[in-house]
Amino acid sequence: MQHRGWLWCTILLSLFFAVAALPQTAELSGYVAIEARAFPQAPLLPEQFSGGNLAFSLQPEFYYESGNGSDRILFVPFMRADQHDGNRTHFDIRELYWQHVADWWELSLGMRKIFWGVAESQHLVDIINQTDQLENLDTEDKLGQPMAHLSIARNWGILDLFILPYFRERSFLAHDARLRLPVPIARNRTRYESDDEEWHLDWAARWFHSISIFDVGLSHFSGTSREAVVEVGAGAGGELFLAPFYPIIGQTGLDMQATTGAWLLKLEAIRRTGQGDAFFASTTGFEYTFNNIKNTGADIGVLLEYHYDERGKDASSPFDDDIFVGSRLALNDVQSTDLLAGFIVDRDNGATFLNLEASRRIRDRYRMEVEFRSFLNAEETDLFFGLRKDHYFQVEFSRFF
């Protein structure tokens, strides 16, 4: 199946060179960052490192636009060097695509990141891109997805059509890393349901429209699941391992948000087939914002969301019957200071995931971000049980250019 990859690369490079010959404007931006993590507790496993960890990252962004603005090229590479985790030391292309913009349609070819969803604590409908678990366990970071993307904007809404010719496997942390599962992932034993493996031709479509106070998205995806089913195996010496298996699934999703005054009412719901028995899952909730507290200009938001998964404790997600409670603070100052704090608690056994994220700009080109994560009261049946010693505090300094 390798000829498909060469065909896509040839087409994309031909378009790049054709657009590059036109009069253009060009921009270079991006950031370089240093990240420090501290793990106050000794690791669960003897092979895992103790104490802290340093990492460096670089993400430049090259943007080109033709003179008439109808053709664009975006290239976003990413590089990270990690003190302890060899898997986390890697290079990746986040985005590399050509886009043509017409009056009522847009066509993009290349590697892109697409986001769907409205919820804060879990993005059920967001399925186009693979999750980058090397960066963070919150599933917010994504790998670039090769695609052909046609977007049509009319008075009845926006219709997005996707052809996804190549699948990117999920990466996992190294054997001696923190925040990894106790049983190692054996990527060399990865299996696919499709005989085409990573070259299975996936497709997706989404309709989006704003109707009165409602923003509504209805989507469908058919192809290789971005989420691996892990199968337990044993080596020659009896040591256990987890082998990823990627089934072919169909997922229909609905995301909807209603804006009324200071209220945001949110819903994400999916029905998925192909990953065992068909199942339904949803995230519902609201965000209420208190604006301009005591005339300081600061806003405080209160968030509440409920997670439901029909599979119960058999779900591949840790959030099957859980409640998220959080608060968002935005000072709306020159430094763009903001903070999000919250926790997710399992209604069945009280297992709790604590999270705090804060950021503040320093002068014009610097930013400091703080992150704290903690895993409490997890039982052996919880996916977070293996992380019960991996509470951590993180500080990251970035310089933008």
As a whole number of angstroms, the distance between CA 217 and CA 30 comes to 31
Q: Are strands 240-246 and 191-192 parallel, antiparallel or unpaired?
A: parallel
User: pLDDT digits over 171-181, tens only?
Assistant: 888 888 899 88
The percentage of residues in the chain with a pLDDT greater than 90, rounded to a whole number, is 74
Task: Tell me which residue of 273, 370, 368, 382 sits closest to 322, measured CA to CA.
Answer: 382
pTM for the structure as a whole: 0.89
Contacts of 146 (CB under 8 A, 6+ apart): 8, 110, 111, 164, 165, 166
pLDDT at 293: 94
pLDDT at 4: 53
The size of the chain, in residues, is 401
User: Residue-wise over 340-371: b if at least 16 C-beta within 10 A, else e?
Assistant: bbbbbbbeeeebbbebbbebbbeeeeebeeeb
Q: What's the mean per-residue pLDDT of the chain?
A: 91
User: pLDDT digits over 204-230, tens only?
Assistant: 999 999 999 999 999 999 999 999 998
CATH class as words, domain 2-400: mainly beta
pLDDT at 24: 66
H or E element, residue 13? helix 2-20
Through-space distance between the first and last CA atoms of the chain, rounded to whole angstroms:
40
Local structure of 2: helix, strand or coil: helix
Task: Tell me which residue of 66, 55, 158, 141 sits closest to 106, measured CA to CA.
Answer: 158
Q: What is the arithmetic mean of pLDDT over 125-134?
A: 95
Q: What is the arithmetic mean of pLDDT over 175-189?
A: 87
As a whole number of angstroms, the distance between CA 290 and CA 313 comes to 37
User: pLDDT digits over 49-90, tens only?
Assistant: 998 999 999 999 999 998 888 999 999 999 999 999 889 999
Residue listed under structure tokens 């608060």? 327
pLDDT at 2: 44
User: pLDDT digits over 299-330, tens only?
Assistant: 999 999 999 999 988 888 888 999 999 999 99
pLDDT at 180: 87
